A and B are shown apart, each in its own frame.
Chain A
Amino acid sequence: MAFINMKKKEVQVKVVYYGPGRGGKTSNLEYIYKKFRERIQTEMITVKTHGDRTLFFDFLPFDIGKINGYDVKIQLYTVPGQVKYNATRRLVLRGVDGIVFVADSMVIRKDKNILSIKNLEENLTDYKKSISKIPLVIQYNKIDLAEQGIPVLSFEEMEKDLNSVLKAPSFSASAITGVNVVQTMKKIIAMTIASIKQELK
């Protein structure tokens, strides 16, 4: 839940990148960090294993300037996608304001995507939040792999698998080449801010 500091005129908003293991959540944040290096004053925090898999979370604070006179601080987090880390995944979701679901376009990851979005729904329910109400953007990552001849799911098929009921805004993207990474982030920020804007007076 966003915290509005009336005294400092500052808002802190929590956006979490969720999705199956190796889907590209950390890569999204790394791209954003590289791209906006001069605007982000601090280091990106990552808590990971030797093998580069996220163990707990990544954290990247992103200041977007003023809205209605309030300094808006967006806190970007990723969760660990591996199935066995559900306890830590749930911890990171605490107080979440907006979610980017990063799906993996590789054909072999079809079922993992579906399981992961179900798991997101369950974990949100634990916090008495609904996946259909919280600001949500779905990203179909790794589309660049098609050029290398690796079988990827079509946009339509992924929409059918993951977004037929939710009807959330969705993007095809590549966290490696950067296609639609910033657009995904801008969309979730806009939606999340819109959801609390009435309270910024």
Chain B
Amino acid sequence: MSYTLSHEQLSEIEEILQHNLIDLGVHCVFLIDMAGNIIANHDNGESSHDIYSLAALAAGNFGAVTAMAKIIGEGEFSLLFHKGEKENIHFSKILSDYLLITIFGNDISLGFLRLKVADVVEKTNKILGSFDAE
């Protein structure tokens, strides 16, 4: 079994990521599914992360955090964010099966990033909403 997105859907998603996140100074952004597959990714041309490993770890990490939330009686945590010295990483769930991961520097405030991510999530929702991965 497998699933796919059309050329047009992917182009549309990439356009949204570029325009709403990369153009604002985000270093790297990728959209994955909960199995750890990369659906779309974009960067500013300067970052060279091992995104396949990042995707596998992010999917696992998100799954673990969601399971923790359930144990303490929360549906899920609304803010998932790791702060580093130079780089920060932010996770946002899209529908039930996808995760948007953003890597950005300290020149962007978390509040601003969250606003932009919310925007992207809403737009991407419409494209991904036409089907569900699992």
Which residues of A approach B to under 8 Å, CB–CB? 1-7, 11-12, 14, 42-43, 45, 47, 56-57, 59, 61, 73, 75, 77, 87-88, 91-92, 94-97, 127, 195-196, 199
Q: Once the chains are docked, how many angstroms separate the CA of A88 from the CA of B65?
A: 11
B53 CB within 8 Å of chain A? yes
| Chain A residues whose CB sits within 8 angstroms of the CB of B64 once the complex forms | 56, 88, 91
A-B pairs with beta carbons under 8 Å apart, 24 shown: A2-B2, A4-B3, A4-B4, A5-B39, A6-B4, A6-B5, A6-B6, A6-B7, A7-B7, A7-B11, A11-B2, A12-B37, A12-B38, A42-B53, A45-B53, A45-B56, A47-B60, A75-B56, A91-B60, A92-B60, A95-B33, A96-B35, A127-B134, A196-B1
Chain A proximity of B50: nearest CB distance (Å): 5
Cβ contact within 8 Å between A59 and B56? yes
Contact A195/B1 with A5-B39, A45-B57 known, Cβ cut-off 8 Å: yes
Chain A proximity of B55: nearest CB distance (Å): 9
| Chain B residues whose CB sits within 8 angstroms of the CB of A11 once the complex forms | 2
Chain B proximity of A36: nearest CB distance (Å): 15
B81 CB within 8 Å of chain A? no
Q: Once the chains are docked, how many angstroms separate the CA of A75 from the CA of B6?
A: 22
Chain A proximity of B67: nearest CB distance (Å): 6
Q: Once the chains are docked, how many angstroms separate the CA of A56 from the CA of B67?
A: 14
Question: What is the number of contacts between chain A and chain B, taking CB atoms within 8 Å?
Answer: 94
B105 CB within 8 Å of chain A? no
Q: Once the chains are docked, how many angstroms separate the CA of A75 from the CA of B59?
A: 13
Contact indicator per residue, chain B 1-38, by CB within 8 Å of chain A (1) or not (0)? 11111110011000000000000000000000111111
B63 CB within 8 Å of chain A? yes
Contact A1/B53 with A7-B7, A7-B10, A94-B59 known, Cβ cut-off 8 Å: no
Residue of A2, A77, A88, A95 contacting most chain B CB atoms (<10 Å):
A95
| Chain A residues whose CB sits within 8 angstroms of the CB of B4 once the complex forms | 3-6, 199
Q: Once the chains are docked, how many angstroms separate the CA of A96 from the CA of B52?
A: 16
